[in-house]
């Protein structure tokens, strides 16, 4: 085998197993907008190419980090499109609190009483028991129904899990609130809600 061929194979393995290369869109507010950047595929645990839900290790993303991720599935049982790559900044990590306006349903990273963002919403953390109330059920129910390994539905304004009405739910996955940083450019959590850890690909270097 020639040195050139060996170098090509090693480069391919590095891209598959260690780093990826992506171009950050010009419209992104990422500091590296318009540039080709490296993505550390091991930053949050390496995802197996043949099964995106399995990782060889595990680490949480931190607030402020720019990440690549796959758009979360919209329906339970749907296969994620691992070829469609989104870029965003982690605005809130598992266990953090964000705020919502109960009238409009909009989310703010910070409490903002003058604009109605007065209701706290916890970003689910694996192993965290969160109360489900009439106000926050709209945010949590869709996450549980799409991404948690249970059968869930909303019945008469209450959460039903595996056939039982519950007032609290113990989350089994970590989630993030991810934003593009641009007021008009989506997709991000404004469109599809909490991003499950399984959707994360890696950290932009």
DSSP category for residue 142: H
The domain covering 20-94+177-205 belongs, at the CATH homologous superfamily level, to: Umud Fragment, subunit A (2.10.109.10)
| Three-state SS at 141 | helix
* Per-residue pLDDT, 6: 52
Tell me the whole-structure pTM to 2 decimals: 0.88
The whole-angstrom separation of Cα 178 and Cα 60 is 13
φ/ψ of residue 49, rounded to 5: -60, -35
| Per-residue pLDDT of the chain in tens (205 residues, 90 and over written 9) | 566 555 455 455 555 556 788 888 888 888 888 899 999 999 999 887 767 778 888 999 999 999 999 988 877 777 777 778 899 999 999 999 999 998 888 899 999 999 999 999 999 999 999 999 999 999 999 999 999 999 999 999 999 999 999 999 999 999 999 998 777 666 889 888 999 999 999 999 9
For the chain, what are the domain ranges?
20-94+177-205
- Return the beta strands (E) in 33-192 as ranges: 36-40, 47-48, 51-55, 66-70, 85-92, 97-101, 107-108, 117-122, 129-131, 152-155, 158-161, 164-166, 168-170, 175-179
| Three-state SS at 15 | helix
* Per-residue pLDDT, 2: 67
* Per-residue pLDDT, 11: 54
The whole-angstrom separation of Cα 69 and Cα 116 is 30
């Amino acid at each position: 085998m020639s040195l050139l061929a060996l170098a090509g194979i090693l480069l391919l393995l590095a891209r598959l197993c260690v780093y990826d290369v992506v171009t950050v869109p010009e419209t992104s507010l990422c500091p590296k907008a318009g540039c080709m950047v490296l993505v550390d595929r091991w930053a949050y645990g390496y995802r197996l190419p043949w099964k995106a839900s399995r990782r060889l290790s595990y680490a949480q993303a931190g607030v402020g980090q720019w990440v690549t991720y796959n758009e979360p599935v919209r329906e339970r049982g749907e296969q994620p499109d691992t070829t469609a790559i989104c870029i965003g900044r982690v605005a809130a990590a598992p266990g953090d609190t964000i705020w919502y306006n109960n009238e409009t349903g909009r989310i703010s990273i910070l409490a903002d009483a003058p604009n109605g963002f007065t209701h706290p919403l916890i970003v689910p953390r694996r192993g965290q028991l969160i109360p489900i109330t009439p106000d926050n059920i709209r945010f949590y129910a869709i996450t549980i129904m799409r991404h948690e390994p249970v059968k869930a539905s909303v019945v008469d304004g209450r959460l039903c899990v595996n056939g039982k009405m519950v007032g609290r739910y113990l989350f089994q996955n970590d989630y993030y609130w991810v934003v593009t940083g641009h007021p008009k450019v989506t997709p991000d959590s404004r469109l599809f809600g909490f991003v499950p850890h399984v959707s994360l690909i890696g950290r932009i270097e």
